[in-house]
Structure 1
Amino acid sequence: MSASKYFVITGGAGYIGSMVAASLLARGDRVLVIDTLDFGGDGLLSFLPFANFAWTKQDVTERAPLAELMHNADAVIHLAALVGFPACNRAGRERTWQVNVEGTQRVYETAAQAGVDRFIFASSYSNYGLAADGEMVTEQSPLQPQSSYAESKVAAEQFLLTQSSQTGPAVTCLRLATVFGVSPRTRFDLMVNQFAWQAHQGEKLVIYQENFRRAFVHVRDVARAMLLVADAPRSAVAGQIFNVGNEALNSSKQELVMLLQEQWPALRVELQDRSFGGDMRSLHVSFEKIRRELGFTTCIDLRQGLAELHQALTLGWITNPADDRHRNHPPLLV
């Protein structure tokens, strides 16, 4: 068994961060979570018995002794952000930039000051925006962000990739597909999870652009990808961008609805062929690079993830899914 490592996770109480923390603790690594706890800290409660777990309530945009917390860390996994175009639109462009761009700059510079070896950045495939019909987008495809959220992620990536060097932290940017599935802090404002919650409630789904394609990835597979990057040789990941997902999970909303109806046969759906504005993505995404270079492939498909969500909602695994702590923003038009 390899020696344990020390990881700092910003946004570690969140949907993805809590799953990453759980995965690291399960294999014996030391974990420090930095989070504002804007959505509570329930996702961290099960970690308290671990002697190798610690957390601190802190905003990465504020002046605080972050360098002391990162001292001797092997890697920083930077997840703290305003996530999604509704949350960013509500916060405004200035606050979005302060958190997603300036906050990222500050965390990276602090990690460099502390001598951290790896810096793993959670980015988004929304950076690609729109693509020609049938065109497969890769890490080399043009970036056409369609929202302030995507613009902020592109700007943060650009900063990080110009900073990565032989002496500073090795930067890896992970452009995540739309995440779904159950985690210690499950969100119900992401497309698959939101659809599942509405189906469970007996609500009618009103679907816009049913033929628009999205890429999806389970939250546990995201955690696996982040650990894989952290463990890979530095030369394999330094200055690299990887799409995280699987082509088999590139699905239209109409295809997703069919899978939902396997779990909720009484689901009612209304299709409307009009725009709702916002982050207009319709993409076929390639995940060949991360598969070829790191050997990563996903383990959980949409059917399995929806079955898990159905079980979680039916058996009451998640206390009060309607609570705001399970959303980063109000429910989306979909």
Structure 2
Amino acid sequence: MSDRILITGGAGYIGSVLTKELLNQGYSVTVLDRFMYEQNSLLDCCNNENFSVIRGDIRDKETLQSAMKGQDFIIHLAALVGAPLCNADQIAATTTNLDASKLLLSLRTKDQKILYPCTNSGYGIGEKNKFCTEETPLRPISLYGKTKVEAEKEILDAGNSISFRLATVFGVSPRMRVDLLVNDFVHRAMTDKFVVIFEGHFKRNYIHIQDVARTFLHGIKNFENLKGETYNVGLSDANLSKLELCEKIKKYRSDFVYIESDIGKDPDKRDYIVSNEKIEKTGFKPIYSLDFGIKELMKAFAIIKDSRYGNI
């Protein structure tokens, strides 16, 4: 019998890609989600007998307890994601991102395995020309970064868990987001043909959403070897500044114009380069390049032009 997997927040940007991938691999998948964006991203999973869905809030003890019953793995994606969204409702951010994680830990059985996505935002402002490794001190700046980093510590301290510190994710998902940096810039290149950027020399790392799904699959299949650790997950050839990202996009949209402005600040102050060597040594390598993602997104934004595809 295949492992049973609960994905909290499984109807979101990452979850809707991951759910389908795990079902395709033969796992039994239950999604717990409150569908706060009124998304229908899991409709094409409903014909799979191994798929179950619970509409509910992870902050509700009875709902979470019922969803967790009999599960082998818990992939804990449910969160308010991004600094702007967390700043807009700080109480919901804390209760969802941190308190619900503590509730989940209090309810799980000792043999239930947890995979958790943390964020590179936890590194805050990196040191010039020095790669952030998993040993680099975490200095989150925003409420989003702080709640994710605190939840990561709780989950790792509880044992039988893995944390993946994800780079900035890009690519197409059934629950699309246009507010992520690569997605946003390609969207602007396709619709407005220009973007005004601030802090253009700030660098960060990137990872395709399909590779994020592959990361969790890697964690499930190699859990005993990987557990108890954190792993940076990103493209080792994509530690790029915003200006360098715009240059890449312009290769495919020659009419794309980008200019830099002094106005505007990143609430997370994300400026770092990241080493992904630790996870690569476990046998995982991303296979989707930034160029692939840009071309994929251009096709997607020929189809959708609506600003509702975002988190705020």
TM-score, length of structure 1 as denominator length: 0.90
Match of 1:159 among 154, 157, 168: 154
**Which residue does the alignment assign to 2:101?**
104
Distance 1:157 1:174 in 2: 9
The one-letter code of the counterpart of 1:88 is C
Gaps of 5+ in 1: 165-169, 330-334
2:61 and 2:103 in contact (8 A); partners too: no
Distance 2:307 2:260 in 1: 27
Query: In the alignment, does 2:132 pair up with 1:137?
Result: yes
Gaps of 5+ in 2: none
**Which residue does the alignment assign to 1:288?**
277
Deviation digits for residues 132-189 of structure 1 (CA, Å, limit 9, x no counterpart): 110111000011111110010111112112211xxxxx11111100000001212111
Distance 2:5 2:240 in 1: 34
Distance 2:259 2:5 in 1: 45
The one-letter code of the counterpart of 2:122 is N
**Which residue does the alignment assign to 2:89?**
91
Deviation digits for residues 289-327 of structure 1 (CA, Å, limit 9, x no counterpart): 0011x211111111110001112222x2xxx44142x21
Query: In the alignment, does 2:234 pair up with 1:245?
Result: yes
**Which residue does the alignment assign to 1:167?**
none
Corresponding residue pairs, total: 312
**Which residue does the alignment assign to 1:79?**
77
Deviation at 1:209, TM superposition (A): 1.4
Distance 2:11 2:244 in 1: 32
Match of 1:22 among 20, 23, 29: 20
TM-score, length of structure 2 as denominator length: 0.96
Distance 1:91 1:83 in 2: 11
1:73 and 1:116 in contact (8 A); partners too: no
In the superposition, relative to structure 1, how do residues 73 and 204 fare at CA in structure 2: closer, same or farther (>3 Å)? same
The one-letter code of the counterpart of 1:76 is I
Percentage identity across paired residues of the two chains: 34
SS of alignment partner, residue 61 of structure 2: coil
**Which residue does the alignment assign to 1:180?**
170
**Which residue does the alignment assign to 2:52?**
54
Distance 1:13 1:152 in 2: 21
1:76 and 1:116 in contact (8 A); partners too: no
Query: In the alignment, does 2:300 pair up with 1:312?
Result: yes
SS of alignment partner, residue 182 of structure 1: coil
The alignment yields a C-alpha RMSD, in angstroms, of 1.4
The one-letter code of the counterpart of 1:227 is L
2:178 and 2:307 in contact (8 A); partners too: no
Deviation at 1:277, TM superposition (A): 4.4
Deviation at 1:55, TM superposition (A): 0.5
Deviates more, 1:129-138 or 1:258-267: 258-267
